[in-house]
Structure 1
Amino acid sequence: MPETKNEENNLSQQLQQLVAEACSHPPKSLMRRQKLSEIVRLIVKSGKLWQEATPHYNDALQQTWVYFCRNVCVCKDNTTNKPYDPNLGSVITWLDKYLKMRLKDFSISQIEHQNRVISPSISEESEAINIIYNVENPPTHSDSPLVILEETKKWVLADPEGELKSVHIKKRPDVTCQILILKRLPPETCWEKIGLEFNLPPSTAPNFYKRECLPRLRNFAKKQGYLE
């Protein structure tokens, strides 16, 4: 038991040191991104972050990494009043609290929408998220999850080949791959809300997204080196 406690203390001290180093570098600098990625890898490897076998755990986890990157040094999230304060607890305790809040949000949302007819499988949703947040096998250029998300959004908006804007649901040129990918990037809009917004049958948007949008998103991630 004492050894376990010592290990936890050592991990906490190591994480706090890395946070201090990350925050000593300018925002968006390569050195800060490298340190943030190092922290994420260390937390994942430790297995100390809260875990549970629930359908939306992976989604909540990815939102937690976004929150971490945005708020560990300076506050950019209106759900919190302060950046991480080492005097109030360890990095993992701080992230555990946020992760549990997001899981609670998903649980409430699931209850509210329990009568939905269809949604993609968890594994498919997880695959889409992992394209953006490949934290266990981070990209070679050491970008943080938030940077990868921002770069992906830039690609979707720019649509350099014009493909995302031109590929759309049959007879619905207003519902394109570009629109659906943007809505499904974290923090994603649920399929039921998307169906209501565009007046679509429950299965239409998720089936189209799986068939047409995910492969294009995956190809972009491979070209950028985010996926093997």
Structure 2
Amino acid sequence: MPSKDEIDDRLKQLAIAAKNHQPQTVERQKAVTTLVMEIQKYKIVKFPKNFSFTWEIYQEICTEAYQDLMFRICREIKNYRPEKEVSQWVNFLIIKCFQEATPRVIGRSDFKRSYYKDIDAFFDGQTNQQEDESDLLAKALIEIIEEDPGDVFKSEVSKKHPQVNFQLLLVKREIEEVSWEQISAELGVGISTLSSFYRRCFEKFTPRFREYL
């Protein structure tokens, strides 16, 4: 197992390489994919501690936040600052992802969100530009989910529950922000079954999502 310094150096080299490629090119996609795979391999993500929820809900929040983190790394790699370790950058982002995922998971639109608005102080002042670009990318992903070219998401159907397909869950979870409890009641399928199917599909189609980043 490499030392922490070796891991930091490896991730920094990958992040810089990905950052230096032009956006929406095959080279950047490949570089970012390699970076994400190495981040997963070395398990550098540290989730915020929160004892306000049951263990099951906390795990679901972590799962949602982790999925969001993978997208955020892809679309915000241009904002990585080489003077920071990749682990610092990633674990700063996971805090934001955790905070944003929490109200979606617990199904409360009035849940108080605490966003880290001082990202400009942390990354030399690019907040508004980052948020504007992220919004544009989010809209592009929403269009892909809703239009589903070739019905690739819709064709991914649960074997035991044919009324459940990945596109349906994507719309409800990522666009309409419906809680698992509501989806479960509507479809008549258990939460654990739905979330497990969703996670498997999400992992399967992550490379396809990256094509549009």
- For residue 61 of structure 1, the aligned residue among 58, 63, 66 is 66
Q: Distance in 1 between matches of 2:67 and 2:34?
A: 16
Structure 2 residue aligned with 1:103: 98
Identity within the alignment, %? 14
Q: Is the 8 A contact 1:156 1:181 kept in 2?
A: no
* Residues 34-183 of structure 1 aligned to structure 2 (within 5 Å): 34-51=30-47, 54-55=58-59, 56-73=61-78, 83-87=79-83, 89-107=84-102, 113=108, 154=144, 156-158=146-148, 160=150, 180-183=168-171
Q: Are 1:16 and 2:12 an aligned pair?
A: yes
Report the equivalent of 2:178.
190
Q: CA contact under 8 A between 1:57 and 1:103: conserved in structure 2?
A: yes
Pair 1:29-2:25 in alignment: yes
| Aligned residues between the structures | 156
Q: What letter is aligned with 2:20?
A: S
Name the CA distance, whole Å, in 1 between partners of 2:96 and 2:141: 27
Q: Distance in 2 between matches of 1:180 and 1:26?
A: 33
Higher helix share: 2
Q: Which amino acid aligns with 2:87?
A: I
Counterpart contact for 1:36–1:69, Cα < 8 Å? yes
- Give the deviation of 1:151 after TM superposition: 8.2
1:203 aligned partner:
185
What TM-score do you get using the length of structure 2 for normalisation?
0.53
Looking at structure 1, the residues matched to 173 and 107 of structure 2 have their Cα atoms a distance apart, in angstroms, of 22
Quote the offset at 1:93 in angstroms: 1.3
CA–CA separation in structure 1 for the residues paired with 2:99 and 2:148: 35
User: 58-67 or 48-57: which moved more?
Assistant: 48-57
Alpha-carbon separation, structure 1, partners of 2:165 and 2:172: 10
**Which segment drifts farther, 43-52 or 93-102?**
43-52
Q: Distance in 1 between matches of 2:82 and 2:40?
A: 19
Q: TM-score, normalised by structure 1?
A: 0.50
- 3-state SS of paired residue (1:72): helix
Q: Secondary structure at the match of 1:203?
A: helix
Q: Shift in Å at residue 100 of structure 1? A: 2.2
Shift of 1:203: 0.6
Q: Secondary structure at the match of 2:45?
A: coil
What RMSD, in angstroms, separates the aligned Cα atoms of the two structures?
Answer: 4.7
Q: Decide which moves more: 179-188 or 38-47.
A: 179-188
> Cα gap change, 1:95/1:206 in structure 2, threshold over 3 Å: closer, same or farther?
farther
Query: Which piece of structure 1 moves more, 61-70 or 183-192?
Result: 183-192
CA drift at 1:112? 6.7
